[in-house]
Every structure is written in C-alpha cells, then in structure tokens.
Amino acid sequence: MNIGEIARRAGVSRSTVSYALSGKRPVSDDTRRKIQQVIDELGYRPNASARALANGRTNAIGLVFPPAGNHYTGMQLDFIGSVVEAAAAYDYDVLLSPSGVDSDHSFQRLLGERRVDGAILMEIRLEDDRVAHLADLGFPSVAIGRTAHPEGGWWVGLDHTGLAAACVHHLADLGHTRVAFVNRPEQLLRAGYESAHRGLDGFTKAAAERSLTVRTYCCGDDAASGQECLERVLHDDPATTALVTLNEAALGGLYRGLAQAGRHVPRDFSVTGVVASRWAETVTPQLTAADVPAAEMGRRAVDLLVERLDHPEASPRHHLLAPPISLRASTGPAGTGTTP
Amino acid sequence: MNIGEIARRAGVSRSTVSYALSGKRPVSDDTRRKIQQVIDELGYRPNASARALANGRTNAIGLVFPPAGNHYTGMQLDFIGSVVEAAAAYDYDVLLSPSGVDSDHSFQRLLGERRVDGAILMEIRLEDDRVAHLADLGFPSVAIGRTAHPEGGWWVGLDHTGLAAACVHHLADLGHTRVAFVNRPEQLLRAGYESAHRGLDGFTKAAAERSLTVRTYCCGDDAASGQECLERVLHDDPATTALVTLNEAALGGLYRGLAQAGRHVPRDFSVTGVVASRWAETVTPQLTAADVPAAEMGRRAVDLLVERLDHPEASPRHHLLAPPISLRASTGPAGTGTTP
DNA sequence: ACGGGGCATCGAACCGGTTCGACCAAGGAG
DNA sequence: CTCCTTGGTCGAACCGGTTCGATGCCCCGT
C-alpha cells in the first residue's frame, strides 16, 4: 500500500520506484516495467499528504467565497463550477473556504496550515483586507474582482462602471428619462463591495451625462426584497419608466412587482442590468443585459493562478472584461411615462 | 516556522510543544505559557500535510458533485453551501470533486491519494457504481440521495415518490384530470438518476390511482428547453390543465411557454412540483411546491459523515425527508380545460 | 530512610513520500 | 589500456508533525 511495499515486491529500492514514477532520473526499461506491473496489480497511488510534505506543494488551490448575505447567488455558483473544472484540467483540487474576513478561522487554516498552494478570492471589496494580507505575505492568489488599487495585482475583473453606463446609454437612447438603479443589499454596499460601488458610479455618471432623473436603491438578494423594492421605486416616482439592476437574485421579484403594478414589460417599463445570461433567460420577457461571463472569468482566474504558481517571479497580470449588452426582450422605447 | 523552531525558542523539546498543543499529556503551566507566548509571537500554525501524514487524518471531506448535464443547478448550489458551512463547524475542510463515475480521474485522486477522510456523494443513481465502490472499500461516505438498495447504507434522501404523488393528489383534489409531468433531461433519466426515476414512479402511480389522463416528458435543464417542452405538452394534448415538474432550471421556461400560449396561471393552468423554496419564489405567480430542504439535507449529511468518522463501527443511519407542499399561488381549481 | 507513584520532559522512531550523493558497470575517447 | 563519462541503482537524510518508552525528580506513605 505504500512505496516501500511496491519497492519490496519489485525487488528494487524505494528511491528507484520514486524515480520511475516521476521520471526525474533515468530508470531502465526492465525495472520500470516491473515496477509498473506491481503498481497496477496493487492499485497503488502515492499518498498525497506525504508527497505534499516532502516537496512543499499540495496541488490544491483554495476558493474563498464569502456568502453574500446569508446565502449564495447564482453567479457564485457559476464561478465555483468553472473554477473547479478549470483546476481539474491542471490536476489541482479545489478547497472551498467560506471565509469572510482576514481574521477568519477557515481562511487561517487554508493559509497558515499550508493546505493550498494558492487561492482564488471572490466577492472583492474596494478596500479588501484579504487581498492586502495576501499581497503582504506574497502568497500566490488571484482575485475575481478588483480593489480600489488594482495596480500590480493579479486579478480578473468586470468593468462594472462601463457596463452600468452602457445600460444607461441603452435606456437613454430609447428615450427614457426617469430611471431607477437597483443595487445589491445595503450591507454589501456599505462593506465596500466592488460591483455595488463601481456599478453605482457608472450608473450615476452616465445618467448625469445624459441628464436623466434617477433614484438609486439597495435591495436584498431575494425575490421578496425585489418585489418590495419595486414598490418603493414606483411609490417614490410613479413616472419612472425603466430600471437598471445588478441584483440577479432580486430579478424575479422586480418582475413580479411590475406585473402587480400593472406595468407591462417592455411596453410600459424597461428593465436591464448586469446579469449572467443563464439567469437573464429564465425571466419573461427575457432580460436585455450585459451578460456576466462567469464561466470565462473562473477559467481565466485559474489560468492566471497556475501561471503564477509555475513562475513565482512572473510579473502581475490581469484581465478586465467588458461584455457587450445582449439585446433580448425587456427594453423598449419610452412610453408616456405615467400610468398605462 | 516549524515545531522545532518553536521548541528551540521555548527551550523545550519538540514533543513537549506537541503535547502542549494537543493536551494529550500533562504539561506544566509554566512551559505551556512560555510555548504559547512563542507561538503567538511567531504566528505559528502546524503544517496540515505533516499532521495528516503522522496521524492518518486529513481533516477534509470530499464533496463529489457531477455536473448535471453541462452546468450546475440551483439545488446543487444550495447543497454545496450548506455542506461547506456545516463542515466548517466541525473544523473540516471541503474538497470539491467534479467526478462523474467510479473510474473518474478526480475521484481516484480523492480516495486513492487519501486527500480526504470521507466523502459526500451527490446526484445519486439507482444503480450507482460510486456508492457500490465506496461500500466495497469500506470508505466512509454519505450519499445525498438513495440507490435502489438503500438498506445498510448511510444517506439522507428525499421521498421523491411520495412528493410527486402529493403533487398529483393536490391537483386531483382541485379537479384536474389531464396532467403532464416534466422530468429532468432524458439523458439523466436513462442514466438512472434517482430523483427522475422515483419522481416519475410516484407521479405515474398516483395518477393511476386517481384515474387521471397523463403524459410524461423529459426536459433539458434550462429555460429554452422548458419553453419548448411546454409547447410540446400543449401540442400533444391541448386539454391539459396542469403540470408537475422536478425541473427547477426549466421552470422559468415553462412559465414563459404558458404565457405565450395565452394560459393564465393559475386560472387556466396549474403548475406544481418539487423545487427549493428559494427558486419557487422567484417566479410569478409563486410556485406551489414541495420545498426541497437543501440546506437541511446538506447539514444532515455532514452530521452523519462526522458521526461515521468519529465512530467507525457505528451502524448505518439515514434520514428520509418528506417536506409538505407549500401552498403558494400557482395552482387553482380546474377550469373548462380547453382554450380560455 | 527508603520505595513507589505520578508528573513533566526528552529522545527516538515513525508516517510515506522526494532527493542528494555515492557507487558500480559499461562504453567511448585519447 | 587507461580515464572519464554516463546510465542505473541504492542508502540515507529530510520534510514537519505525533507518539511511545524511558528518565529524572519530587512528594508521600510507612
């Protein structure tokens, strides 16, 4: 069951078995065959802990994903799936860590106890102590998202500012003048979540450029909050004819609120935002949105991390993605702007 | 940085440090304090690989989740989240493995290379070679779902048969007589997925009991497939007035198909099924459904696994859950049964 | 005064790999 | 015919913990 047993049965030394397996030194064809045969017979696989101890690499990466509020969003699911898949292609295992902050128990385990060779961080904040901490330590990591000071870092990010602005311009081009912005929960905005801040910025600036009348809202990550938020929107300004949202989980609730207020989408009211395509397509009418390329981002994050692990001295790299808006069926020309 | 360094600085032997940390032998208060002080100063944490090598436990569990088709469903997300959280409470890390079958590369790594102490299996099939394989090996594992021969196994399952039957009875009580069943993709049904089979069984038997006219369909795990499937339903039998579904991901598409066919839910058409509440609430009208208690199932699976790890000789245990149907807004009395 | 028991500590072996230096035999160059 | 390389193999040390057996010491009972 261990390398000594294999060596004994093959009539060679333990080091020879090791070299036969790793190929780091030449081994004659005869002995290699003999060893391989014994290994196949016994179904031997080298112990991962022992190997990790000996050569200092665990062949595992950590995926740090703090829960957004108290449950996970669909986008996180997409990230997790693509990261696991990409990592598997490089023969890396993925360890999940539900860590919130730098002082977090599970975060410490991953790093301090050397369970992983590198980490991928999700749900980045503009001032993120995890990112700062890892940078100080020189610990190999890649962020999905970027902080306020992204220079010299490894990350793959989304141009939330540009994307939100694109949504505004799309609506302004259609003649909308009174537009609402539905953001992630207030708690996340206050915590400094990148997407919430940059999205809000992009929205506000573009709206000013186009001289739109706007109101901005925070909204819980669930359908009930979405519905309640939409009621607030129409209560505050019944003449609102369109909204932009970053809040995937609230989308169904927003639609329900519109239906109950008797606003038909897209005839009376236009909806757009930044949402992964697979969720944009579950609502009716399908959402015109900037599709978050979650699968691609996860894959690229792994590519970057592996590159960093293989070349410790490589200089920092990043990818900033700005997917175009996919026209579906939830936006249309502005109507009268009052009750239908 | 390692235990020898701590020992040196504290002026004791390595074993004393180890005992001070583990408490497995008495250590005087003086030395314990001294050791603790050095540890705090240096921020020392014991190396996980070394520890795992020495005592044969990695303190990690594997979560084996084959992708359903080519992407992940919302329910899988809920399982992953709850498993990670529950495992963290027991100080276990979670390793994700996208393994499909027994011969899978990543599955072999997890088990063969002893990366984990135990495993939680998702997406169980009636005849599941992974479950059989692990049972043969005596490897500690817990299944989320149950095979055709669940006796003597460790699992937490859902009574899909009973749940689907409950949906049928609910619809029959409302006077529906022509009902469709929308299952998971055909590929999964053919592969023997438990939920697809048991759900179909429960539906069929209950429908026979109540003398309903039924048709059953398989449907891809996405909105477009749902829409297309609903068109097939109404094409095959326009007099259909209700459907039962297990397919969470297709739900949005089913609703869209109904809207485009001019069927109002629940006035002209009732929809129900087995779906996690958080997804049932995103559609409008909200889905009357048997709520899959994904969070509870994940937690219980971890509880069971930890129990099994702590007491290797414990006799097998399981939980079979049968949540009641939550009445929301998507079902109503049968109407005329023809076009509105 | 002496023996025994418990406490605190130490040294060494071990877990299962990897890797370095040494060794020997065979082959090629001078 | 040497000498030097190179290919193939081995033994030993090492990675960083845990654990067992031994030892020294102090205190107590008799």
Q: How far is CA B148 from the centre of its chain?
A: 17
- Residue to mutate among A42, A85, A96, A107, with most B CBs inside 10 A, is A96
CB within 8 Å: A49 and B49? yes
Query: Closest approach of chain B CAs to the CA of A221, in angstroms?
Result: 11
pLDDT digits (tens, 9 = 90+) for B174-206: 999 999 999 999 999 999 999 999 999 999 999
Query: Closest approach of chain B CAs to the CA of A297, in angstroms?
Result: 15
Instruction: Give me the residue spans of the domains in chain A.
Output: 3-46, 60-158+294-321, 160-291
Q: Is the CB of A26 under 7 A from strand D?
A: yes
Q: What are phi and psi of A225, to 5 degrees?
A: -65, -40
From chain B, the residues in CB contact with A2 under 8 A are: none
Residue of A nearest to B281 (CA): A223
Segment A144-156 shows an average pLDDT of 96
Of A75 and A266, more confident: A266
CB within 8 Å: A93 and B85? no
Residue of B nearest to A104 (CA): B88
Lowest-confidence segment of A173-187, A285-299, B69-83 by average pLDDT? B69-83
CB within 8 Å: B72 and A58? no
CB within 8 Å: A95 and B98? no
CB within 8 Å: B114 and A49? yes
Query: Closest approach of chain A CAs to the CA of B154, in angstroms?
Result: 24
DSSP annotation string for B24-55:
SS---HHHHHHHHHHHHHHT----HHHHHHHH
Return the pLDDT at A75. 81
Sequence-ordered list of residues with C-beta below 8 angstroms from that of B84, at least 6 positions apart, any chain? A96, A98, B63, B94
Name the fold adopted by A160-291: Rossmann fold (3.40.50)
Residue of A nearest to B48 (CA): A113
Beginning with the edge strand found earlier in the chain, give each strand of the sheet holding B178-183 in spatial order: B213-218, B178-183, B242-245, B270-275, B288-291, B325-326
Contact A205, A197 (CB under 8 A): no
* Amino acid sitting at position B310: D
Report residue B205 as tokens.
Answer: 């038997």
Within this chain, domains A60-158+294-321 and A160-291 share the same CATH topology? yes
CB within 8 Å: B78 and A72? yes
Return the pLDDT at B23. 94
pLDDT of A339 > 50? The answer is: no
Placement of tokens 């479950």 in the chain = B131
- Closest CA to the C1' of D16: that residue is B50
pLDDT of B99 > 80? The answer is: no
Q: What are phi and psi of B227, to 5 degrees?
A: -65, -45
| Cα torsion through A146, A149, A154, A159, rounded to 10 | 40
Nearest-angstrom CA–CA distance, A331 and A323: 18
**Which bases of strand C have any atom within 7 Å of the beta carbon of a protein residue?**
7-21
- Rounded to whole angstroms, the distance from the CA of residue A13 to the C1' of nucleotide C25 is 18
Q: Are strands A213-218 and A270-275 parallel, antiparallel or unpaired?
A: unpaired
Return the pLDDT at A97. 87
Q: Is the CB of B22 under 7 A from strand D?
A: yes
Q: Are strands B118-121 and B60-64 parallel, antiparallel or unpaired?
A: parallel
Nearest-angstrom CA–CA distance, B115 and A95: 11
- Rounded to whole angstroms, the distance from the CA of residue A20 to the C1' of nucleotide D4 is 27
* Amino acid sitting at position B219: C
- Rounded to whole angstroms, the distance from the CA of residue B137 to the C1' of nucleotide C20 is 38
Instruction: Choose the closest CB to B81 out of A72, A251, A281.
Output: A72
- Rounded to whole angstroms, the distance from the CA of residue B26 to the C1' of nucleotide C4 is 20
From chain A, the residues in CB contact with B84 under 8 A are: 96, 98
Name the fold adopted by B3-46: 434 Repressor (Amino-terminal Domain) (1.10.260)
pLDDT digits (tens, 9 = 90+) for B294-338: 999 999 999 999 999 999 989 999 999 999 999 999 999 997 544
Q: Are strands A325-326 and B60-64 parallel, antiparallel or unpaired?
A: unpaired
A to B CB pairs, distance under 8 Å? 151
DSSP annotation string for A198-262:
HHHHHHHHHHHHTT-EEEEEE--SSHHHHHHHHHHHHHH-TT--EEEE--GGGHHHHHHHHHHTT
From chain A, the residues in CB contact with B252 under 8 A are: 281-284
Q: What are phi and psi of B331, to 5 degrees?
A: -125, 150
CA atoms within 13 A on the CB side of B169: 13
Mean pLDDT of chain A: 93
From chain A, the residues in CB contact with B53 under 8 A are: 47, 49-50, 53
Nearest-angstrom CA–CA distance, B233 and A84: 37
Q: What is the CATH number of domain A60-158+294-321?
A: 3.40.50.2300
Q: What one-character DSSP code corresponds to residue A21?
A: H
Nearest-angstrom CA–CA distance, A17 and A23: 10
- Residue to mutate among B282, B287, B302, B328, with most A CBs inside 10 A, is B282
pLDDT digits (tens, 9 = 90+) for B261-271: 999 999 999 99
pLDDT digits (tens, 9 = 90+) for A277-300: 989 999 999 999 999 999 999 999
Query: Does domain B160-292 bear CATH number 3.40.50.2300?
Result: yes
Of B131 and B71, more confident: B131
* Amino acid sitting at position B126: L
Q: Are strands B288-291 and B325-326 parallel, antiparallel or unpaired?
A: antiparallel
Cis peptide before A150 (omega within 30 of 0): no
